[in-house]
């Protein structure tokens, strides 16, 4: 059954599932992380991530804005674009599907986490010379995933009632 909540589908078995959303997150490697500076200014940064055990792992420079500002509030918002359309997207402007959520973020000090033991995929993305000095951000999604275009056909992307879903994070 799919019910609507403020014009957004809430998946209840026949719609988008948490497992389906996690599969999409695990297939991707790029996301936009949003956070606030200590004085409350909004910031967004594109990051390369790996997903492991229902969390996202991001390696950042130890002196980056993300490494300095995220620990202040330990809250982030994340949007993962999901490319759609295959070869059609080379000929037509097909927007990506998206998965958005908020969550708790833990920023680990440099050298305190063995990146290889957390995620071999993330360790492979970080240059060897940065492995010992990078900070690792672990993001734990909370609440609900808000999706657009996940589990829908390309023709249904133009209909927000069909293309949107709100799925509990499991």
Domains and CATH numbers, the chain: 2-168 (2.30.110.10)
**Strands, DSSP E only, in 37-70?**
42-51, 56-60
- Which of 16, 30, 86, 23 has the alpha carbon at shortest distance from 58? 30
For the entire predicted model, the pTM comes to: 0.85
Q: What is the pLDDT of residues 115-170, one digit of tens each?
A: 666 667 777 777 777 777 888 899 999 999 999 999 988 888 788 888 999 999 98
Per-residue pLDDT of 52-79, as tens digits, reads: 889 999 999 999 999 999 998 899 999 9
Identify the three-state secondary structure at position 157: helix
Q: Determine the longest span between alpha carbons in the chain, in angstroms.
A: 51
Going 113 to 31 to 91 to 87, the CA torsion angle's sign is positive
Distance in angstroms (rounded) separating the CA atoms of residues 151 and 55: 21
């Amino acid at each position: 059954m799919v019910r609507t909540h403020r014009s957004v589908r809430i998946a209840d078995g026949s719609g988008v599932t948490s497992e389906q959303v996690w599969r999409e997150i695990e297939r991707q490697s790029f996301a936009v992380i949003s956070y606030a500076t200590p004085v409350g200014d909004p910031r967004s940064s594109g990051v390369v991530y790996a997903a492991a055990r229902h969390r996202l792992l991001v390696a950042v420079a130890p002196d980056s804005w993300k490494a300095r500002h995220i620990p202040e509030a330990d809250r982030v918002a994340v949007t993962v674009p999901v490319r759609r359309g295959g070869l059609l997207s080379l000929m037509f402007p097909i927007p990506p599907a998206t998965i958005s959520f908020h969550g708790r973020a833990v920023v680990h000090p440099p050298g305190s986490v063995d990146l290889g033991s957390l995620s071999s995929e993330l360790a492979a993305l970080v240059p060897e010379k940065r492995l010992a000095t990078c900070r690792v951000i672990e993001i734990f999604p909370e609440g609900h995933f808000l999706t657009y275009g996940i589990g829908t056909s390309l023709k249904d992307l133009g209909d927000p009632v069909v293309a949107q879903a709100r799925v509990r994070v499991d």
